[in-house]
Every structure is written in structure tokens, then in C-alpha cells.
Amino acid sequence: MEQVTDIFLKRLIDITSQNPSQCYQCGKCSAGCPVRDFLETPPNRIVRFVQLGLYELALTSASIWLCAGCLTCTSRCPKNFDLAKFMDALRQIAVQDKIEPADKKVFKFHKAFMNQVKKHGRSYELGLIRDYKLSTGDFLQDIDAAPSAFMKGKISITPHNIKDKEKIKKIINKAAESDSP
């Protein structure tokens, strides 16, 4: 790969092992994107922003958070550009640089999920729902589905803690340190 001097691009290539310049903007990714109807900016245009050095436009776009990670773009790209990984990297850089996510709900959901893993070593759904609702203030969503989920034993009342949960906490904390720019 050619010498890259741009610091942002270097970070991106470091995470994804690919240069976004390889995308020739055919738009096949956007044509097959299942969440395209919900995006203000289609995925190929996010790549274009980065190609043009308009990093802030890419990092502050809601599209990077609304990508569902379905990998359809990645598997169909004629240039073998892993767009799903590119989207992951943009989200990761946005988190590391504390750029306010344009879609806070998605960010808060994943944050709440990882907090459960950090506490228990595994995901704990009731804790996830509680933390997510506390962080978004959205208490009404799914209030009708909750009783049936409990009755059917879908959501357990108590978390399952793994024996070595301290290890997981350490891994998550150390990864955050290592990621910080």
C-alpha cells in the first residue's frame, strides 16, 4: 500500500487494512442497502466524503449509526471493499474522538449492552433494557410487550455472572485505554 501521511486516513487504514480510495463509486452498496430508505446520506457517499477528506461530514452523519451491519454491501462490492468494516471503523473513531453521535439511540443501546458485559461477563437483558431506558428517557416503548416476555420466561430476573467476570472488566477497560488516541 502507498505511503499515507494523512493522520485520519492512517487510523482508518490501521483498523480496516484497506484504503477507501479503492472504491470507484459504482453505488452497488447503496442500491442493495436494506436501511437505505432511512438514510439521509447513502453509504457510497459516506465513502466519497472520506475520499475527499471531508472527514467531519462522515463522522457526524447519522448513516454510520443506522448501518445495520448486515454485510450485504461487503459481500457484493465489485472492488472487494469491506464497507461494513469501514462503517465500523468510522463509528469506532467517532467514539474514540468523543464526537457526538448523530443518532444517540443506537450509540446508547450498544453502550448499555457493553456495560452489562462489563458487569457480568455476559449480556443481561433486564439490565440492558433498564440502562438503555434510563439513558434515553424512552420509558414507554415495549411496555406492552414486557409482561408477556416475562411470563414466557424470555427475560430472566437475575443476571448470570461468570466466575472470571473481573477478567472481562479488565479486558474492556484496557481496550478502551488502548483505543484512546
Q: Which residues bind other proteins (CB under 8 A)?
A: 14-15, 17, 34-35, 37-38, 66, 68-72, 74-75, 82, 84, 88-89, 91-92, 95, 103, 105-111, 113-114, 117, 121-125, 129, 132, 141-142, 145, 148-149, 152-156, 160, 162-165, 167-168, 171-172, 174-176, 178-179
* Residue placing its CB nearer to other proteins in the complex, 15 or 57: 15
- CB nearer to other proteins: give 52 or 135: 135
Q: How far is the CB of 62 from other proteins (least distance, A)?
A: 10
Encode 38-67: b = buried (16+ Cβ within 10 Å), e = exposed.
Answer: ebebbbbbbbbbbbeeebeebbebbbbbbb
Q: How far is the CB of 53 from other proteins (least distance, A)?
A: 22
Least Å distance, CB 38 to other proteins, is: 6
Smallest distance, Å, CB 148 to other proteins?
7
Residue pair 88/69 in contact by the 8 Å Cβ criterion: yes
Work out how close the CB of 40 gets to other proteins at its nearest, in angstroms, rounded to a whole number.
14
Q: What is the dihedral of CA 97, 103, 107, 112, to 10 degrees?
A: 140
In whole angstroms, give the CA distance from residue 28 to residue 43.
10
Residue nearer to other proteins on the CB measure, 10 or 52:
10
Question: Is the CA virtual torsion 99, 103, 106, 111 positive or negative?
Answer: positive
CA dihedral of residues 4, 56, 51, 62 (deg, nearest 10)? 130
Q: How far apart are CA 55 and CA 46, in angstroms?
A: 9
Nearer to other proteins, 52 or 174 (CB): 174
Which residue, 52 or 116, is less far from other proteins as judged by CB?
Answer: 116
In the complex with other proteins, the residue whose CB is nearer, 52 or 156, is 156
Instruction: Provide, rounded to whole angstroms, the least separation between the CB of residue 108 and other proteins.
Output: 7
Instruction: Count CB-CB contacts under 10 A for residue 113.
Output: 17
